[in-house]
Structure 1
Amino acid sequence: MRERHIKKELGVSWIQVRNETHVFASEDNRHPLIDEICRKLAQLIYQIKLIGYKPDIASVWHDVEDEQREEYLSYHSENPAVAFGLISTPHGDTIHVIKNLRVCNDCHTALKLISNVTERER
């Protein structure tokens, strides 16, 4: 890919809350509620680890240590979008996140477990 000057498309997720579209990109921290989103995401990861979630670090191709790979996974674009949806909508509402790329295996597993611990429809 480098030799051909091909770049991978950036993973982006959208969520609409109260008729406003919020866009999240991987490792993007420009959202006005990013601190609250990060706290919620950390809480969710803690909760799903209690019920058996083990991050699939094989999904991360960066040449970094395993702990850093886990960090990269938690900030794939759909995770902050879901965390934002959870803090911005009433309990029980369905959250719809749209992505421009497919969801990796780890995120798919994590999102199913998040749906269970938050009692949200998946």
Structure 2
Amino acid sequence: MIDLLCRSGELTEAKDLIKSMPFEPGAPIWEAILAGCRTHGNMDLGIQAAERLFELVPQHDGTYVLLSNLYAALGRWDDVAKVRTLMRERAVKKEPGCSWIDVENMVHVFLVGDTVHPEVHEVYKHLEQLVLKMRKLGYVPDTKFALHDMESEHKENSLSTHSEKLAVAFGIMKLPLGATIRVFKNLRICGDCHNAFKFMSRVVGREIVVRDAKRFHHFRNGECSYGNYS
């Protein structure tokens, strides 16, 4: 219930529900709160949730990443740096983001900013052409998901290197026309990628399914089964 409230932006109601519970909330509840605050930009409650998670699961990298993302979305780069420093001091390692797709019984793995896959340069070119078509339908890269302090153009470029975009573009290149694109990602899907896949599903006329660390997302005809919640 708390997760549903957080997805819909009802963060005050979620907090009230926590207060009414006959037991102390555990880490999954506070993580749902923090993720909701990241989505809806609630800094005060997000910090409170992060502090509780630091007490409950101090070595869980997801807390640091979500809090850093929350700061970055609001342009608080000094606080982003402080979170990264805290991770180093506590020896917390961020799990590298990667995505993979099965094409002709072979699993192809892509990392963020991939330079290793033998066809990655062709994937970047194909993705660039897709983005041009997506822009004509109204897609605008959401640079608040570029989690570094840089110029806007560089932020857009960094978004285009996310592993899930590379894996989906590779599937579009390689799978038969009309075939569903099925991609797996080890972390939570990026908000910009989530929006991009809605436009991409319209451009290529295919269903795109992304299974991230939390849930399945089914993109079809410009819509996602989970609405705008990534």
TM over 0.5: yes
What is the DSSP-based 3-state SS (H/G/I as helix, E as strand, rest coil) of the residue aligned with 2:88?
coil
RMSD over equivalenced CA pairs, Å: 1.0
Counterpart residue type for residue 74 of structure 1 = S
**Deviations 1:10-64 (Å, cap 9, x if unpaired)?**
1100100000000000001111111211111000111111111111111112121
Tell me: higher relative CO, structure 1 or 2? Use CA pairs within 8 A at least 6 residues apart: 1
Q: Structure 1-normalised TM-score? A: 0.95
Runs of 4+ in 1 over 3 A off after TM superposition: none
**Aligned-pair distance for 1:5?**
2.5
Greater fraction helix: 2
Q: 1:52 aligns with which of 123, 126, 138?
A: 138
Counterpart residue type for residue 29 of structure 1 = T
What is the DSSP-based 3-state SS (H/G/I as helix, E as strand, rest coil) of the residue aligned with 1:120?
coil
Q: Does the alignment pair 1:71 with 2:151?
A: no
Q: Does the alignment pair 1:16 with 2:102?
A: yes
Q: How many residues align?
A: 122
Counterpart residue type for residue 156 of structure 2 = E
Counterpart residue type for residue 114 of structure 2 = D
Paired residue for 2:22?
A: none
Paired residue for 2:116?
A: 30
Paired residue for 1:80?
A: 166
* Percent of aligned positions that are identical: 50
Q: Structure 2-normalised TM-score? A: 0.52
Structure 1 unaligned segments of length 5 or more: list them.
Answer: none
Paired residue for 2:92?
A: 6
Structure 2 unaligned segments of length 5 or more: list them.
Answer: 1-86, 208-218, 220-230
CA distance in 2, matches of 1:26, 1:11: 6
**Deviations 1:47-100 (Å, cap 9, x if unpaired)?**
111111111111112121111111111111001101110110111000100000
**Aligned-pair distance for 1:7?**
2.6
CA distance in 2, matches of 1:64, 1:6: 25
